[in-house]
């Protein structure tokens, strides 16, 4: 597995792309979910993200900004409260 800083390549998807993937189509969302299952880096907030992804699939983009901010904070090592 390739790893650099807080950004890992899992199942062909970087952590940073998980963030990007949240705002794109369902095809990528499947890869995002795969990544979340196998990436211990994202696992820390994976449960939250999985729940939010489920919410997203029904409620669309209203949560995207909040999720994005959250993922960015985790990836930068400064989780928000």
Q: Which positions lie near Zn ion, rule CB under 5 A?
A: 8, 15, 39, 41-42
Nearer to Zn ion, 19 or 56 (CB): 19
Half-sphere exposure of 38 (CA within 13 A, CB side): 14
Min separation Cβ 23 and Zn ion, Å = 16
Nearer to Zn ion, 15 or 56 (CB): 15
Label residue 32 exposed, middle or buried (CB < 10 Å: 0-12, 13-18, 19+).
Answer: buried
Nearer to Zn ion, 41 or 56 (CB): 41
């Amino acid at each position: 597995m390739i790893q650099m800083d807080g950004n890992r390549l899992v199942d062909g998807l970087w952590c940073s792309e998980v963030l990007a993937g949240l705002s794109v189509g369902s095809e990528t969302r499947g890869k995002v979910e795969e990544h979340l299952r196998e990436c211990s880096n994202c696992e820390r907030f994976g449960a939250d993200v999985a729940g939010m992804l489920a919410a997203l699939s029904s409620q669309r983009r209203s949560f995207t900004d909040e999720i994005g901010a959250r993922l960015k904070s985790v990836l930068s090592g400064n989780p928000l409260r």
